[in-house]
Structure 1
Amino acid sequence: MAIPKLNAYALPTAAEIPESKVQWAFEPGRAALLIHDMQDYFIDFWGDSCPMIQQVIDNIAALRDYCKKNGIPVYYTAQPNNQSDEDRALLNDMWGPGLNKHPERQQVVAALAPDEQDTVLTKWRYSAFIRSPLEQSLKETGHNQLIICGVYAHIGCMTTATDAFMRDIKPFMVADALADFSREEHMMALKYTAGRSGRVVMTRDLLPEAAPQNKEQLRALILPLLDESDIPEDDENLIDYGLDSVRMMALAASWRKIHGDIDFVMLAKNPSVDAWWALLSREPQA
């Protein structure tokens, strides 16, 4: 049975991802990025110009750019386009000849093409660790965290995450940088990983966020979070305009990446644009 034609769906939002059983802290110095099977052949099943796939590619590109700038190694998996029956084995029974019938579609999508500094692993089975040097390479270089993105979430990505866990490598499944046969299967992969083998995160959870550069940017960030149609003055209490504690905690978590002393209590003590700008306009901490 070949892969069926696939339809777009709404990618998971931060509010929808399952709560992970583990809350491992992301450590860039110990992490590596795995871009899983983002080959033209596998992406073609969504057809041309699929907005969902474009968003996934954009999110993966943002992760890759961050990793490249911060010395985080980038790995790819890519199936070969000339697999023998012995190499392909049971995959023939499950999926047919695959790339063997479309050798011209073997390349990674152009927007994510690897460069000479990246490592491209030949992919033989669902798990990226099978018949590859991935585990040895990670452990020899002191990396015990693996950021996983790509396709398909409930097949190779989930299996690789589980395999990583069994090799004492902490997997981070990036919910909005994955794609799958369906939203149901995508969510199933996230739920399984969150409860059995890893941590499920959003792209933005792994990327440093810049603080607003001026009071106007801060105001523009806050206004969509309010329930009231009236616009508060800069010295007014934002809670009176519908800002709830959940949104305030999310802001605190984001801004803590720039100013380590910011927490929910600090924001709640004086919840106004003026007060928050005074906190954010300080020199960033080292």
Structure 2
Amino acid sequence: MEMGNHTTVMDFILLGISVHSEDQPFIFMLILTMYLVCLMGNSLMIALIFIDHHLHTPMYFFISNLSVVDLSYTSVTVPKMLTILLSEKKIISFSECVTQLYFFDALGLTEMFLLAVMAYDRYVAICNPMHYTLVMSKRVCSCLVAASWSIASLNSICHTIFISRLSFCDPNTIHYFFCDIPPLLKLSCSDVSTYELVLFIEASVIGLGPFLCILISYVRIIGTILKVRSAEGRHKAFSTCSSHLTVVSLFCVTVLFNYFYPSSAYSLEKDVVITIMCTVVTPMLNPLIYSLRNKEVIGALRRIIARRKCFQNI
């Protein structure tokens, strides 16, 4: 199939992380270790929340959904990244590339929405505790989670359809380790200037929306905490949302920085660091942050271990 004087690209070559050949085994083991820690940490978090009835609350319902997103999010990119690090076969088909793009975009945006929902949950719990159970009912929580998944999926479908209709001509080399919007726009031989403008506006609305929700929620939360007279009360109130604030800082800042520039400003070195933070490091740290700084999660883990010991002694 030809288009003008160019041959239409049916496959892409993923160059992966630009490192010396002697460093590739070390990078491979480092990313593999982080990936395994991510899988184990998020799986353990999901299991704890599912098994222990003490964690059947709105906050942990949202955390379990966040763990599901993190598991899926990192699994979309990391296995392929590990494959191309040590393998000479670095080819990805156009259909595989578009599929990877869809899930990466949808899961990333779902995580942003979930973080915004979790910020709102903490706002209601701290600023309006008397009406918390009424406002954050099971039905409301389920609707908020369903809306997060649905909006992100629809948005990703639109981007995926547009990318799939672009013309990609030789060269077909992606200087990256997975298919994402910025490197694909840079590689396309179609005019993408209008789409870049639309992407920037859309990111400003959909991307900044959750960020503003988080910001406003925490401004109100901090204002409420400062009104608490006792130091112990202020510490207890702040400890309930400090873990979430840490996760937000890790994820939102890197994502917003990664997408708020045109493809002409694309930099491999900068994007590799940022994207590894988004796709590997943050999903790995999220369950650690929520567990190590949370007495309820540690208590649930101790109860499960104690039950197992009791069964073994019977």
Smaller-chain TM-score bracket: under 0.3
TM-score (norm: length of structure 2):
0.25
TM-score (norm: length of structure 1):
0.27
- Structure with more strand by fraction: 1
- Structure with more helix by fraction: 2
